[in-house]
Amino acid sequence: MSIAEKIGADIIAAMKAHEEHKLTTLRMVKSALRSKEIDKREPLTDAEQTQILTTLVKQRRESVESFTKGGRPELAAQEQAEIAMIEGYLPQAAGEAEILAIVQAAVAQLAESSGQKPTPRDMGAVMKLAQQAIQSAGVRADGKLVSVLVKTELAK
């Protein structure tokens, strides 16, 4: 069952249970998925659906930060609840150790292909390899964490 199908089933369940906030959030997610599908003119892959949900979570996190700075804790709490709902449809986030192993493999791969140890100037190439490996592994990772781990690996 794809992410969109799960969301559709959960929308029906939320309607029956009269859960307005959950229903509104799920409809917003379904709308974002459908909009991208229309733009693409073909069904979305699971990876594309996951990417859209990740973007929605990132937007919510930025909103939480803004609302917290602006002294609006009730709106920040609402956005936090939406993050929790959306993350329920995403694959399990990879731990720092798992991401570090992927980053180290990417650094080793780049060193092997170029014949020399990568320097901090090669960060873009290492990030690209690491992101591809993360995506192919089917896990989810925070881009900021990946970036920090790549920087520390290249600084060694």
Averages of pLDDT over each 10 residues, the chain, 156 residues: 91 96 95 95 88 92 95 95 93 85 90 85 90 83 88 87
| pLDDT confidence of residue 32 | 95
| pLDDT confidence of residue 63 | 96
| pLDDT confidence of residue 134 | 85
| pLDDT confidence of residue 72 | 95
**Dist. CA 19–CA 9, nearest whole Å:** 14
**Dist. CA 34–CA 40, nearest whole Å:** 10
Distances in whole angstroms, Cα of residue 1 to Cα of each of 45, 89, 96, 105, 129: 12, 11, 28, 32, 29
| pLDDT confidence of residue 116 | 85
Structure tokens at 116: 């020399």
| pLDDT confidence of residue 20 | 94
| pLDDT confidence of residue 122 | 87
| pLDDT confidence of residue 56 | 95
| pLDDT confidence of residue 14 | 95
**Dist. CA 86–CA 80, nearest whole Å:** 10
